[in-house]
Amino acid sequence: MERGYARLEWSVLDWNEPAIGFYKSLGAVQMDEWTVHRLTGDALRTLGEA
């Protein structure tokens, strides 16, 4: 708040109901329209070589 930040965002696994419940109790809102994507292994290497 002192630095003027507008939000705090983090990730939680969709099956982790205890954590989701805790975050909701803090007033956090789940962002359903977002999907996490990840590159690993060969796909990551290919991108790195591009």
- Residues found in the chain: 50
Phi first, then psi, for residue 31 (nearest 5°) are -100, 80
Catalytic one of 9, 10, 14, 23: 23
Write down the residue that tokens 């956090």 correspond to: 28
Instruction: Tell me if residue 5 is catalytic.
Output: no
What is the SS3 assignment for 13?
A: coil
Catalytic residues, by residue number, are 23
